[in-house]
Every structure is written in structure tokens, then in C-alpha cells.
Structure 1
């Protein structure tokens, strides 16, 4: 009899039923090398999974299981597992439209994954693109899915969203807040915590000696105080505090650097991560460099959670034209970080 799979358990969701998520997951699981990286468990509505395969022009053999509690100990197999859950009727979904029924569906599936996380049944989660407006129509009470995850999982420490493009990762110390309020978030604690979190996450992702650059807040890095003092009073002291600590690798933190040139240093390979001071400071650069390949990583949660950064693409939903590249990247990151998570849990138990 086959032994249980040694691979990390990675849960996949189909995302917003009106978007490109089902098609993307079908294309992902049709890749013959997908099952080499993880013990994959897909969770979703059977009709939606069939629709995703139809749009992707693929047929993927899956193994039905009852719950994520069964995933860890199933025999090694090249087939993904599938948990059927009824969350939305096909008649309630209009392709390309954000609706409450779709938002409720997304929340139900994600919460099922959160319950499995709390029970220790999964090592990582990849969710196909969702729509925040639909989720709020469907009952989401938080500003975004990250804050929903954090509260559901009882996270009390610092957490933030990472945006990645290939070998370059970015973190930000403020996210979905009005720009006029961003300065209030520029403080030493948030900079230190965001920098440490992205550094340790890169280690979990297999980067041996990550270098992290910290961005300035003001134009030209403040110009010695002429354009603002956040660099002098807050950001530089945060960098010094980081540099004074002991780390697994040599001097990983540097800055502050003017935001209009910092990505040039990263593009040349000098840095593997950039900590930015507000949402668009990093997002504009990352999306300009490779919109269709970007991945969002939910940092600071009990297990790694990833998703393609491009969104539901309602304009091409149902047309069979979705590019699986970013979803494949999100899956690979989840597999690497999920394996690191599993090793750390097993080391504690040993």
C-alpha cells in the first residue's frame, strides 16, 4: 500500500464564480508537473469545476475526498483531491458581474479553508481571483480578504500583503487607506515589522541571503528635510534598528532610498525585496514591470496564502482566454512556503 504523501497539503479554491478563476485552476491542474509539488486539494462547487474545465478545454481527473482532514494521510498520488461543496447555483451567476451570491460563495469556501488551517490540516492555500465588491455584497465586513483571514485565524501580531514579481518581492506599511492618511502609518514599529516579515518570508521561499531595501516616503528621499522629515526622524532610525539586530544572513537591510530609483536597484538584482511606505509606491512599479505575472502573498498568517495579483478579469471571463502564468507562480510560492511551514511544525513536534 502506498505511503502518505510527503508533500505539503495545498488547498486551492476556484475564486469568484463570475470571473476567470475556474478556468485558471483548470489550466493549472492540467499541467502534468503540478502534482509533483504538492498534495493538492481543490475545494468548490462541482458545476463550477466542470465549467472551468470546459472553458480551459481540459479534462482533469480528481480524487473525491470528504474533507481536508482526509488530505494529509491519503496515499501518494498524481491526482488532485476534490472536495465538493455546494455554495452557489449556476442560475445565480452572471459571468462578468459582481453579485452577492458569488461573494457569499467565495466566503464560504475560504472559511472552509480557514477552518482546516486552524485544525492543522493544510500547509498553504492558493485562492483564485476574487472580487472585493462582490464579497462585501455577500457579507464581508472587513476592508479586504487579508483582514478577514487575520481575524478568522486569530492573528494578533503584525501582518501585511506582499506583492511579488518573479524574484522581486514588495511589502508596504500601509495599504488600502486614503493617501492623505498614509503619513500616519509611517512609524518605526511598522517599518521594522514589515521588513522582518518579508525577510523571513523570503527565507521560507528558498532565497538564501535576501537583501531588503527600505523606501523613502517623500520626493527625493526628503532632500535632507526640505521635502519632509520622515526619512530623518522615522525611516533611517528604523533601518538602524534593523541593522543592529542579529540575523541568519549578513546585513540584510538597507535604506532609505528615494522611491523613484529604488526599483532600478532591485531590477539589477541588488535587492530581492523592497519595503514601501504606501500602496501605490510599490504597486505601480510592480504592475508596470509585469502585470500578468504578479502574485499577492498574504504575509504574517499561520500558513502561507497566495493568489494571482491580476484580479477576476470580468472583461474576458467565459472566453477561455485567461493566462495561467500568475496562478502558476502563486502555486509554486505556496508550495515552497508550505513545505517550509510543514518542516517547522514537524521540527517542533520532534
Structure 2
């Protein structure tokens, strides 16, 4: 578990996870600054009984059960609560990088992080765009991941994510839609769906209205849906985006695939802001986080709701079992070297794959 933005509710949520028996199954490697976690525990009003290991001790025999690796990288006295700062952004980048490197090397099975603030992370690392680009560069991914938003009622997959709206129509292709459908089907089967039913949202109003409002729905989305259906995937579409989530909530679909970020995010956050999980998949291990943000307005007040965070940890464990069945390699590389790399501000990072 990587502790996220120090200026928001992330330290409080991290402390609540450790203290919550439903979330902490004695299998957590908490990564961050011990002092920050202690501040989070004070905000949350919880007492933590968690072994803490410094960087000089991570290559020795690790304790059984949950423990913390103290990177010593974020003095709470230097990081204001309730707003973004370069200090909180740097610590979040380093914690996330450390968790990714350790998990990619086989020392953990899933990456979970409490919420980040991208503005703070850009103050520390100006080329930070989003989590997917950062993950790609950090682990040298051969292909980029995809984001999913998950509620008990419905999943949301999307074809494009953090790009300007004016670029969406140019970025969606039949091949990208098809590969997204195949990935969604595979990931949801790993989460327990026998044959997930996927409704595919149209790009244009009224699904193009017979080409009156655009041609992408007929010329790009429909061929991808037909190809997926021919491959025995349970897919339907394109469906006007103003009704597709209504049909999903009524039980017709297990997931909705949208063409761009807010086309799905608005619906999902209205349905379950305090319960939703963001899953980043298509890597050798699952990456999960609560779907809400850093909530600067309530930072330090002990009001952070644990619901979405607990759901994220639960989903991560379930998906990690699927990865385990596919055969993860044995751990490689010394943790001390991986964490030193994560803390190196001068490190050269490869450009994200496209």
C-alpha cells in the first residue's frame, strides 16, 4: 500500500486500512513515511500496532503479517494539510514508484494506493501526466494499462482516458475498442463474472441518429462490437450514452464501455461516490485505488469514509488470486535497491509507451 497525497485524506485512509480488520488481512506492506502514517492515525483516532522497518532492514527476513517500510521522505511538519504542495507530490510519486517496482519484482501481488493529487505530483515531477503513463515508464511496460471504475452494480470500462475531449474522436479506432472489450471480458471473468455482459456506449448523440450526428458509431464502434460478438463475447451496442447506464442499473449489463473519461465517470460517481473503485489493469499485477479524490476540504478532520478504500483492497486481493493462478515469477532484486531507485530524484525514466 502506497500512501498517497499527504495534504489530503490519504494518510488518514491509510491508517484506517491498517486499523480495520476487514481491510487488513495481515498481508500489507505499507510504503511511505512513518511520521505521516502516525499523523493519519491521529486524525483518524485509531491506534496502530504495525512493525516499522527502515531502508537498512528491508533485505533481512521480513516480519510475518503486515508491516511498514519507512522511506522517511515526508516530514508532516513541512507539508500543509488542505492543499497541494511539491513536498506532498514528491512523496506520493516516490511511494507509488516504490510500490510498483517492488510488486513488479515479485515482492508483492497487488499495488494499492490511497488518493493522489496530480497537480501536486506535477509540482514535483513536471512530466507526470497520469497513473498509466507513470506505470508504463516505471516498470517498462510492453503495453499500456486500461482504467476501470467498479461498483457492485456495474463496472465502467473506457476506450480513452486522460486526453482532451477534442481528441477523443480521433483516438477511438475499431481495433482499440475491440481490444478494450476483450480485456474487459478477461478481467471481469477473473473477478468472478462467468460471462460478463457489456453495453457499449455510443460516441455521438442518439448513437449518430442514422449518421445525422456523426459517423463514428456506424463506421468504428459497430464493427468492433460485431467482431467481439462473433468471438462469443456478450456485447451490445453502440447504445446512446444517455440511456446505457439506465439499462445497466436495471440489470441488462454487468459493464458499460464508454468512449471517454467523463462519459462514464459522471454516471459512476453519481451512483456510488463513496463506494467506487478505480482498477488499472493489463499489467502483470492489478493496481487499485478508491475512485474518489484527496478531499482537501476535510483533510485532518477524521471524516474520511473508508468504504471505497475497503472495496479497493478487497477487489485487489480477488484479482491478485487470478494473477497467481497464471503463475507469477519468484521475487527478484533486492528491496533496498528498488526503494533506493524509487527515491532517486535524478533517475532517468523511459517515456511512456503509446
Corresponding residue number in structure 2 for 1:98: 84
- TM-score, normalised with respect to structure 1: 0.88
* Corresponding residue to 2:171 among 169, 185, 188: 185
Q: Is the 8 A contact 2:39 2:76 kept in 1?
A: no
Aligned residue runs from structure 1 range 1-350, under 5 A: 12-36=1-25, 39-65=27-53, 77=65, 80-245=66-231, 251-345=233-327
- 1:314–1:346 CA distance, 2 compared to 1 (3 A): closer
Q: Is the 8 A contact 1:107 1:140 kept in 2?
A: no
- 1:164–1:140 CA distance, 2 compared to 1 (3 A): farther
Secondary structure at the aligned position of 2:120 is classed as: helix
Q: Shift in Å at residue 112 of structure 1?
A: 0.9
Q: Shift in Å at residue 289 of structure 1?
A: 1.1
Identify unmatched segments of 5+ residues in structure 2: 331-354
Q: Is the 8 A contact 2:132 2:144 kept in 1?
A: no
Identify unmatched segments of 5+ residues in structure 1: 1-11
Corresponding residue number in structure 1 for 2:347: none
Secondary structure at the aligned position of 1:83 is classed as: strand
How many Å separate the matches in 2 of 1:305 and 1:233? 33
Q: Is the 8 A contact 1:198 1:299 kept in 2?
A: no
CA RMSD across the alignment: 2.3
Q: Shift in Å at residue 51 of structure 1?
A: 0.8
Secondary structure at the aligned position of 2:116 is classed as: coil
Secondary structure at the aligned position of 1:227 is classed as: coil
How many Å separate the matches in 1 of 2:21 and 2:124? 35
- TM-score, normalised with respect to structure 2: 0.88
Corresponding residue number in structure 2 for 1:4: none
Q: Is the 8 A contact 1:153 1:302 kept in 2?
A: no
Q: Shift in Å at residue 282 of structure 1?
A: 0.6
Q: Shift in Å at residue 60 of structure 1?
A: 2.0
Q: Is the 8 A contact 1:189 1:238 kept in 2?
A: yes
Secondary structure at the aligned position of 2:327 is classed as: helix
Secondary structure at the aligned position of 2:209 is classed as: helix
Q: Is the 8 A contact 2:34 2:52 kept in 1?
A: no
